[in-house]
Amino acid sequence: MQTILSFAVVAVLILSLLLVLRWGNLILIGKMPARFFAFFAILFTSGLDVGLIMLPLTEFSTYETDEAYSFTNPLAIEFGFWGFFIWVFYFLTTCYFCIFEPRLKIFEIYWVRFVNNIVIIGTCAFTGFLFLQYLPSYFEGITPFVRFVIVAIVLMGAVFSSTDIRYVKILSLASTWLFFALIAVTWVYGGLGLSGLAANLMKIGDYFPNIYRFILPFSDFHAFYLFWWFAWSIMIGQFVSRFVGGLRTWHLLIALLVIPSIPIALWFSVLFGIYEQGIEISAFVNGFMILVGVIFVTNSLDSLTRLYSENLQLTVDRLGKVKYIVMHWSLLYGLILLYQFTPLQIEWVGLVVIGLYVAISILVFLRRQSVISLISTS
């Protein structure tokens, strides 16, 4: 499985490089172009989930003691799993849906559309299931009944938000600003000061001399993260590509590598400061983290729900708002409940998506005349 993953990651890097070399100056415009900050707010909050908020504090100790991560410090490891290079996955798929899909129509082929939507629905529900599973670690002493109620309410909010693209944009912008506020509050709470923050950011800098180590899976946990990014890559690229507002291809690559990495680096730096000092998270800070994490989950679920509902033409315009909400909430919550009785792992979803990558590459080759036409006109 890791051999397949390794070949797939290398292929993504090669394709991304070829894309920039050939169409680097092509101006990308989506169906609903948004302003620069709004586009990245949608990308950032749709492409990440509660794990960004809650997991690092539980993972630093592993990276500090496990031999597999000894080539650098725990902060650089955590950043490598979430920042910079890893956003190449979203770059490639966003470019595909901006440049090639409007001409090749590959995702309108029945079996491709079917597999793609199964992946979207399955991953959407799996995200809700993971949130359900991890809730006890966020809320100490929470009962099973309250867990199911919270997930049901969060899912209802996500499905409602997906009924209008304005809600998706507003929620993305709001959660982005809340995330920055969380960083500021946690930084003050940890008492790092500017010198402490700068010192931790310098530790993250050790990621770059070791960036080549993050290309191929070097541990089972790293492989899990890579499969997770693969699982999300096509559907996030398909969703956010519609909001690209006139960026050149190489501008998009640089922006995707740098801009999301800035808040991620800041967040991990303040969390690592708390971890190193052994500071116990207060109820207020923990509550703030949970709030932002819940909103991130809602952002992810609403964007994916809107995507597959449009793909399947099960939209508000066709069904009406009430029927739309009841149908999609029931489908997703039912799957969340069923996941408790299945051995599904994100690695399996990642393998299916890698298979889609291969199939799409073959179909692009078979329709190369359209690609040649694109080359001649760009």
pLDDT truncated to tens, each residue of the chain (378 aa)?
789 999 999 999 999 999 999 889 999 998 889 888 888 988 888 878 778 888 898 899 999 999 999 999 999 999 999 999 999 999 999 999 998 898 888 999 999 999 999 999 988 888 888 888 888 877 778 888 999 999 999 999 999 999 998 888 888 899 999 999 999 999 999 999 999 999 999 999 999 999 999 999 999 999 999 999 999 999 999 999 999 988 999 999 999 999 999 999 999 999 999 999 999 888 899 889 989 988 988 988 999 999 999 999 999 999 999 999 999 999 999 999 988 887 777 888 899 999 999 999 888 888 777 666 665 555
pLDDT of residue 378: 56
Q: Which residues contact 56 (CB under 8 A, 6 or more apart)?
A: 78, 267, 268, 271, 272, 275
Q: Do 155 and 329 meet the contact criterion of CB atoms below 8 Å apart?
A: yes
Instruction: Give residue 377's pLDDT.
Output: 57
Q: How many whole angstroms separate alpha carbon 17 and alpha carbon 15? A: 5
Distance CA 345, CA 91 (A): 25
Predicted pLDDT of residue 169: 87
CA distance readout (Å), 330 to 288, 324, 327: 29, 10, 5
* Residue among 203, 201, 243, 314 nearest 90 (CA): 243
| 341, burial (CB in 10 Å: exposed 0-12, middle 13-18, buried 19+) | exposed
Q: How confident is the model at residue 345, as a pLDDT?
A: 79
- What structural domains and CATH numbers belong to the chain? 2-377 (1.10.4160)
According to the model, what pLDDT value does residue 364 have?
84
**pLDDT for position 52:** 87
- Asked if 24 and 250 touch (Cβ cutoff 8 Å), the reply is yes
The predicted model scores a pTM of 0.91
What was the pLDDT predicted at 322?
A: 95
Q: What is the pLDDT of residue 373?
A: 67
- Residues 98 and 246: their CA atoms lie apart, in Å, by 11
What residues contact 6, with CB distance under 8 A and at least 6 apart? 216, 217
Short-list 247, 236, 234, 259, CA closest to 113: 234
346 backbone φψ class: left, alpha, beta (φ>0; ψ -120 to 50)? alpha
